[in-house]
Structure 1
Amino acid sequence: MKILTDSYKKRPIRCLEIWEYDKWKMKLYSISCNKEKISKIVVDTTKRITEQDILESKNNSYKLGFSIAHQAREAVFILVNWWIKDNMLRSHIYRSPLHSPEKIINVTSTGESMCIWEIYVLNFERNAWVKHVLQNQSKESISNYLHCQLNDEI
């Protein structure tokens, strides 16, 4: 059995904004292992990668989703997620060196997955989608989903 080398430390998770791009509405989350705020270059890179991904989407999409910008211990991770076909979530995962967050590569096909903090955001968004969209199909459901945001330290 492998012995853990690091103890668990809480990280701030913040919904930084809802931004619109080409009729899409996306929530942007940040996670940082060191401090409250992530760097502007990571935020800008996350938006750029998200915009590229969603424009390439040919799926039956709601044009809604969320991205996660995570400045972790060993690298920067960007996760782009959007809702398709009622109850499906399309996800792409990117990674870059901490010292060069703009040098991002797509690692989705490598099998690299989400960490415990990113999964926490994913679970929150899943629950918000079920509650505000799938179980409540009203005029306000999309707005309610977008304004249901996670801001926590876990």
Structure 2
Amino acid sequence: MTTEAKAETAYRPRAVRSAGRWEADHAALKLFTITATPEPMSAEAIALARETVVADGSANGLGFVILHRGEEALWLLLHWWLPGGILGQLLWSSPLAGPIRFEARDRPLMACVWELVPISFERDLYVRTIMHGRSAEDYLAASLPDGSY
């Protein structure tokens, strides 16, 4: 790996924020936003992300959504808990330039290092709450503190 390549992949913390809760059909979803720049996520991006998730209809039960404005694209990740502690996931992206149009992405994509922060938090929370007999409201009420991760 060259020095230039190392500089490109250097880790720089990003702003992670809890952005509320969505009720969508048979799902209760927490929203996290991640931004590579200091500006908060736009209301338009959040509205279009919600529209995409609701239109898809895959989520059922409890879960969370990550909307990440990175350096290469606007990423939308939908996660929902399935029986047995299994986490379902769908992934969309939209170019940063031009109108927001989320398009489904195929595997092997899963998540980046910044998106793994709320994913890890939600995993641990799910174990502490739902898998230990606590209520869905206990799970939904807790959130990753806003910060730079």
TM-score w.r.t. length of structure 2: 0.89
Q: Counterpart in 2 of 1:103?
A: 101
Q: Counterpart in 2 of 1:40?
A: 43
Corresponding residue to 2:75 among 71, 74, 77: 77
Return the letter of the residue paired with 2:148: E
Say whether residues 1:9 and 2:42 are aligned partners: no
Q: Counterpart in 1 of 2:25?
A: 22
2:115 counterpart SS class? helix
1:17 counterpart SS class? strand
Q: Counterpart in 1 of 2:109?
A: 112
Gaps of at least 5 residues in structure 2 are none
Q: Counterpart in 2 of 1:92?
A: 90
- What's the RMSD between the two structures over aligned residues? 1.6
Deviation string 1:58-80 (CA, Å, 9 cap, x unpaired) is: xxx4x111000000011100000
Q: Counterpart in 2 of 1:124?
A: 121
Is the contact made by 1:30 and 1:68 (CA closer than 8 Å) also made in structure 2? yes
Q: Counterpart in 2 of 1:49?
A: 52
- Deviation at 1:20? 1.2
**Structure 1 residues 9 and 101: CA distance shift in structure 2, 3 A:** farther
Corresponding residue to 1:144 among 131, 138, 145: 138
Of all paired residues, the percent bearing the same amino acid is: 27
Q: Counterpart in 1 of 2:148?
A: 153
- Deviation at 1:8? 2.1
